[in-house]
């Protein structure tokens, strides 16, 4: 089995002022960084200027090079008006080949639905980008009530979901990295 850690990029999909997405991301990142299967980085879209016209600016080139070097992704996605954020969609649209034949997992948050509607919509987007969407998700329902003052949660289902997502992501990440090395993806 391939023992080289997978390069995991975690995208923080909210750019709103006062966003709770950073708290959600920090919680998930503590788990991902403790997993030896991954070498984990963060792409915070609030700090990643991408052109709305999808032009090939220098900033987009830097973003695309990070994507190209990654073996796997996790999108931390809010749910806004029953959908995902415009910033996250713009990030997906700002690259093409760099996403292909790579797995992606979703950590979602919101109100009653926990961001699951955003995740289901994003599965369609990433399928069009030739990505593999991981079945296991992590979702935070009533997100503003989910975290204590130390940024931890009490919900057992949420706590249990994170390692399952990471295990599935590692399996797909290793399989797809080997496949890309043996035979470049024909996309």
pLDDT in tens, 51-85: 888 666 677 888 999 999 999 999 999 999 999 99
pLDDT at 57 (0 to 100) = 67
Average pLDDT, the chain: 94
In this prediction, residue 160 has a pLDDT band, given cuts at 50, 70 and 90, of very high
pLDDT at 85 (0 to 100) = 96
pTM: 0.95
Cβ neighbours for 40, distance < 8 A, ≥ 6 positions apart:
8, 9, 10, 29, 32, 33
CB-side neighbour CA atoms (13 Å) of 115: 29
Question: Residue 131: which of 169, 85, 78, 87 has the closest Cα?
Answer: 169
Which tens digit of pLDDT belongs to each residue from 87-135? 999 999 999 999 999 999 999 999 999 999 999 999 999 999 999 999 9
pLDDT at 168 (0 to 100) = 98
Question: Residue 113: which of 83, 73, 87, 147 has the closest Cα?
Answer: 83
pLDDT at 39 (0 to 100) = 98
**All domains of the chain, ordered by start, with CATH?**
6-182 (3.40.50.360)
pLDDT at 48 (0 to 100) = 92
CB 144 within 8 A of CB 171: no
In this prediction, residue 12 has a pLDDT band, given cuts at 50, 70 and 90, of very high
Calculate what percentage of the chain has a pLDDT beyond 70. Answer: 96
2 pLDDT above the threshold of 80? no
Task: For the beta carbon of residue 108, count every other beta carbon within 10 angstroms.
Answer: 27
pLDDT at 1 (0 to 100) = 57
CB 54 within 8 A of CB 94: yes
DSSP the chain: ---SPEEEEEEE----TT-SHHHHHHHHHHHHHH-TTEEEEEEEGGGS---TT----HHHHHHHHHHHH-SEEEEEEE-BTTB--HHHHHHHHT-SGGGTT-EEEEEEE-STTTTHHHHHHHHHHHHHTT-EEEEEEEEETTHHHHB-TTS-B--HHHHHHHHHHHHHHHHHHHHHHHHHHHS----
pLDDT at 64 (0 to 100) = 94
């Amino acid at each position: 089995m391939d023992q080289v850690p997978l390069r995991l990029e975690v995208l923080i999909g909210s750019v709103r002022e006062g966003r709770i997405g950073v708290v959600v991301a920090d919680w998930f990142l503590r788990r991902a960084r403790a997993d030896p299967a991954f070498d984990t980085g963060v792409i915070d879209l609030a700090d990643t200027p991408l052109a709305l016209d999808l032009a090939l600016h220098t900033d987009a080139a830097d973003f695309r090079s990070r994507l190209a070097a990654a073996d796997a992704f996790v999108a931390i996605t809010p749910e806004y008006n029953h959908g995902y954020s415009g910033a996250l969609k713009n990030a997906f649209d700002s690259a093409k080949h760099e996403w292909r034949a790579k797995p992606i997992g979703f950590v979602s948050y919101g109100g009653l639905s926990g961001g699951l509607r955003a995740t289901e919509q994003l599965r369609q987007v990433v399928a069009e980008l030739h990505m593999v969407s991981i079945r296991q998700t992590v979702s935070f329902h009533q997100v503003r009530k989910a975290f204590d003052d130390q940024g931890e949660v009490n919900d057992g289902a949420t706590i249990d979901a994170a390692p399952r997502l990471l295990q599935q992501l590692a399996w797909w990440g290793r399989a797809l990295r080997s496949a890309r090395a043996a035979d470049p993806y024909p996309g």
